[in-house]
Amino acid sequence: MGPEGSENWHAMLDGAELILREEGHAALTSRRVAERIGVKQRLVYYYFRTMDDLVVSLFRRMAERQELRLSEAAAQPRPLRALWDISLHSTDSRLIAEFMALANRIEGLKREVVHFIESARRIETEVLAQVMDRVPQARNMGPASMAVTITSLALLLSRESQLGVDLGHEEILAALDAFLDQVEPLDAAT
């Protein structure tokens, strides 16, 4: 097996990500990955025993990057705003849909997806618990249910925007901004 983390390994994952995003999981083959990055098809299998292994590695790499962004956001002076910004602007609903479809048939991917969701949810819940302890008006929902709501809302807005739907988006974004202004005012000391 080729070395994990090498330049070729990353190039293959980059190529696979583009194929998955642009053409969907049905087009994700070792031949297409090899063509995309300009190598022989057998080299893909030097780095990944199976295409399922490549998919799991691709998701794991993306999840690790997102978890790092979430952890960094949680350490910001206004962590809830930072988490919302990440959720709203780094959600690629097309790619998420492809991974979810693949997770239904690749057990290793399913485990990685569950691990990532739970890890991200813990980070979000910790931030929300701190906010809710400080701000009485934020206590209408528990931190875990608020984390689910924020993540779901960001995914929904991303999906609809990619389709060209924006009806109601401005209103919900304004309502969320008003909520954030209550719990993490921009003019408060950092």
Domain, as residue range, for 34: 1-49
Q: What is the pLDDT of residue 180?
A: 87
Q: Are residues 44 and 57 in the same domain?
A: no
Question: Mean pLDDT score of the chain, rounded to an integer?
Answer: 90
Q: Are residues 65 and 40 in the same domain?
A: no
Q: Are residues 169 and 82 in the same domain?
A: yes
Q: Are residues 63 and 43 in the same domain?
A: no
Q: Is the pLDDT of residue 183 over 60?
A: yes
Answer whether 51's CB lies under 8 Å from 28's CB: yes
Q: Are residues 77 and 42 in the same domain?
A: no
At 46, which helix (H) or strand (E)?
helix 41-47
Q: Are residues 45 and 79 in the same domain?
A: no
The total domain count for the chain is 2
**Does residue 190 fall inside a structural domain?**
no
What integer is the mean pLDDT of 185-189? 72
Q: Are residues 56 and 41 in the same domain?
A: no
Q: What is the pLDDT of residue 91?
A: 72
Q: How far apart are CA 105 and CA 117, in angstroms?
A: 18
Name the region of 5 (left: φ>0; alpha: ψ -120 to 50; beta: rest): left
Q: Are residues 33 and 65 in the same domain?
A: no
Q: What is the pLDDT of residue 137?
A: 63
CATH number at residue 7: 1.10.10
Q: Residue 152's closest CA among 117, 122, 112? A: 117
Q: How far apart are CA 126 and CA 113, in angstroms?
A: 20
Kindly indicate the confidence band of residue 139, based on its pLDDT and cuts at 50, 70 and 90.
low
Count CB-CB contacts under 10 A for residue 164: 6
Q: Are residues 56 and 127 in the same domain?
A: yes
**Does residue 61 fall inside a structural domain?**
yes
What integer is the mean pLDDT of 148-153? 89
At 97, which helix (H) or strand (E)?
helix 93-103
Q: Are residues 121 and 97 in the same domain?
A: yes
Kindly indicate the confidence band of residue 188, based on its pLDDT and cuts at 50, 70 and 90.
low
| Distance between first and last Cα of the chain | 49
Q: Are residues 66 and 42 in the same domain?
A: no
Burial (CB count <10 Å: 0-12, 13-18, 19+), residue 57: buried
Q: What is the pLDDT of residues 43-91, one digit of tens each?
A: 999 999 999 999 999 999 999 999 999 999 999 999 999 999 998 888 7
Q: What is the pLDDT of residue 138?
A: 63
Q: Are residues 137 and 169 in the same domain?
A: yes
Token readout for 72 is: 């960094």
Q: 49, 65, 86 — which closes off a domain? A: 49
**Does residue 188 fall inside a structural domain?**
no
